[in-house]
Structure 1
Amino acid sequence: MSRTSVLTDGQWARIQPLLPSSAGRRGRPFRDDRRVVEGIIYRYRCGIAWRDVPAEFGPWQTIWKRHRRYSGDGTWDSILAALLTVADAQGEVDWSVSVDSTVNRAHQHGTNLPRTTGARSNYMNLYAEPDDHAIGRSRGGLSTKIHALVDGKGRPLVLLVAPGQGGDAPMFTHLMDQLKIYRTGPGRPRTRPNRVRGDKAYSSKAIRTHLRDRGIVAVIPQPSDQIGHRKRRGSTGGRPPSFDKEDYKGRNVVERNFNTFKQWRALATRYDKLALTYRGGAVLRAISIWLTALGDTP
């Protein structure tokens, strides 16, 4: 396989039927679907400008427009959902999930659009570009956060982007709302994991209540200030929440997931002006991870 051949024949056979050009789309058929998709992957893997994508992938304008289209119309998400359905049917999805976020610096080329500082990103509609473009100012400068929910083996299930200065806890319910894996046959999609592992940033009464009401085990440690407040209240402080220290050791898979994500240089540093296309690149990375996990036989 050459340096620019980024998909095997088996991997392409899995996703090719899921693309709009293969699903009865009206109008002129898309040209060279495989090379264009590989061009998008190549750009995110190498972290180069769209104009610098090698000519063998086709015109860079076509590659950019196709990625913009697939990010905005839900194509990348539908492909990931289809792969998750197959993986779950094969017993590949480990439903002991972990949650966390990673901050990625925004390059100056991705921050030159007008934006409303302090605007709230729209997490209910993933395909509406937020006014702040999911860029915020944290201690490291202008940055974006990728919030992820991964399975017990560190493979991504849900991905959202938000400004870099935002907290982790407020994003938790949005991540859980997006967790939905459809069945291969009849029946409702599965939306409830067995347990959720999170660090101290997710230790809040609202999150623990949310998980308890849905019958999901919370594996979340308490920070020292919460422990101190409870003890100072004496008997009115209630019992400490249960916490399985051994099970919590499995949370490291989400950190390893971020290491895998950042092997694609255009995800480790944000060059995209639009939150839609940056998140689309992250979802495409998730697709590549699940293609590897499922193997080359469709």
Structure 2
Amino acid sequence: MSRTEMLDDQMWERIAPLMPVASAKGGRPYRDHRQVLEGIIWRYRTGSPWRDLPAEFGSWRTVWKRHDRFSKDGTWEAIVATLLADADAAGLIDWDVSVDSTINRAHQHARTSRVTQGDLANYKNLATEPPDHGIGRSRGGLSTKIHLLSDGHGLPLVVICGPGQAGDSPMFPELLDAVRVMRVGSGRPRTRPDRVATDKAYSSATIRRLLRGQGIGAVIPERADQIQNRKNRGRSGGRPPAFDAVKYRDRNVVERGFNAFKQWRGVATRYDKHNANYCGGVLVRAIVLWLKRLRDTP
């Protein structure tokens, strides 16, 4: 494989049947999905402007338009869902999951409008572009935050892109609600992990109550102020929440997952104006990661 090819024949054969056949109902069939997808991967892997795509990928307009369409019509999400179902059927998903977020700087070319944060629940639907385009002003400047729920191997199960200044804790219920791994064949989709490990940013009574209500184990350390407040209340402060310090050591898999995402420069730095396009690029990275996992497992 050359530096402009990321998908080998085995990987392509797995997702080729999942690609749309026609551009619209009654429209002309798409041409050479593999060439276009390689172009999309190259662009996000290198962080290059769309106009600078090598000629071997065809017209840059075709590559950009197809990525724009597939990001907004749910194609990338559907492919990720199918790969997750295949991985779960093969026993490749570790359901002791981890949750965290990472901030990615937004390039000046990504700035489109005034920063006004919308409803956090709207960032799960890529078909509707939020008013702030998923760009917020954090301490480091304009940025986008990737919220990730990864399995026990650091591979993505849920990805949501939102503004950089948005808190981690308010997004947690949206991440948990988005867990939905379909079964191959019949059966209800799996929506509950066995355990969830997070850092202290997610330590709140609301999140612990949410996990307890769904029968999900919580591996979340208490913040120092919460420990002190409980002690100050004496007996009325209650017992400290259960915490498995040994299991918490595995939480770093989500950090390794972010490292894998940020190997692609177009993900590590946001150049896309629309949140749907940027998050679509993140989903393409997730597709490649799961394809490699499925290919490399006997």
TM-score bracket, normalised by the shorter chain, equals over 0.9
Q: How far has the Cα of 1:254 moved from its partner?
A: 0.3
1:108–1:24 distance in 2 versus 1, CA, 3 Å: closer
Q: Which secondary structure state, in structure 1, belongs to the residue aligned with residue 289 of structure 2?
A: helix
Alignment of 1:115-264 (within 5 A): 115-121=114-120, 122-123=122-123, 125-264=125-264
Q: How far has the Cα of 1:202 moved from its partner?
A: 0.6
Q: How far has the Cα of 1:32 moved from its partner?
A: 1.4
User: 1:92 and 1:296 mapped to 2: Cα distance?
Assistant: 11
Q: Which residue of 2 aligns with 1:2?
A: 2
Q: Which amino acid aligns with 1:91?
A: G
Q: How far has the Cα of 1:186 moved from its partner?
A: 1.3
Q: How far has the Cα of 1:185 moved from its partner?
A: 1.7
User: 2:124 and 2:135 mapped to 1: Cα distance?
Assistant: 18
2:294 counterpart of 1:294? yes
Q: Which residue of 2 aligns with 1:274?
A: 274
Q: Which amino acid aligns with 1:253?
A: V
Q: Which amino acid aligns with 2:86?
A: V
Conservation of the 8 A alpha-carbon contact between 1:134 and 1:161: yes
2:102 counterpart of 1:102? yes
Q: Which secondary structure state, in structure 2, belongs to the residue aligned with residue 295 of structure 1?
A: helix
User: 1:52 and 1:104 mapped to 2: Cα distance?
Assistant: 22
Deviations 1:26-62 (A, max 9, x none): 3211111100011000000000000001111010000
1:22–1:119 distance in 2 versus 1, CA, 3 Å: closer
Q: How far has the Cα of 1:123 moved from its partner?
A: 3.2
User: 1:210 and 1:297 mapped to 2: Cα distance?
Assistant: 34
Q: How far has the Cα of 1:3 moved from its partner?
A: 1.3
Q: Which amino acid aligns with 1:272?
A: D
Structure 2: runs of 5 or more not aligned: none
How many residues of Structure 1 are paired with residues of Structure 2 in the alignment?
297
Q: Which residue of 2 aligns with 1:88?
A: 88
User: 1:106 and 1:24 mapped to 2: Cα distance?
Assistant: 33
Conservation of the 8 A alpha-carbon contact between 1:97 and 1:151: yes
2:31 counterpart of 1:59? no
Deviations 1:217-255 (A, max 9, x none): 000000100000101011111110000000000000000
1:80–1:25 distance in 2 versus 1, CA, 3 Å: farther
**Percent identity between the two aligned chains:** 61
1:48–1:271 distance in 2 versus 1, CA, 3 Å: same
Structure 1: runs of 5 or more not aligned: none
Q: Which secondary structure state, in structure 1, belongs to the residue aligned with residue 94 of structure 2?
A: coil
Conservation of the 8 A alpha-carbon contact between 1:98 and 1:149: yes
Q: Which secondary structure state, in structure 2, belongs to the residue aligned with residue 21 of structure 1?
A: coil
Q: How far has the Cα of 1:126 moved from its partner?
A: 3.3
TM-score (norm 2): 0.97
TM-score (norm 1): 0.97
User: 2:247 and 2:266 mapped to 1: Cα distance?
Assistant: 33
Q: Which amino acid aligns with 1:240?
A: P
The runs of at least 4 consecutive aligned structure 1 residues that moved more than 6 Å come to none
Q: Which amino acid aligns with 2:250?
A: G
Q: Which amino acid aligns with 1:241?
A: P
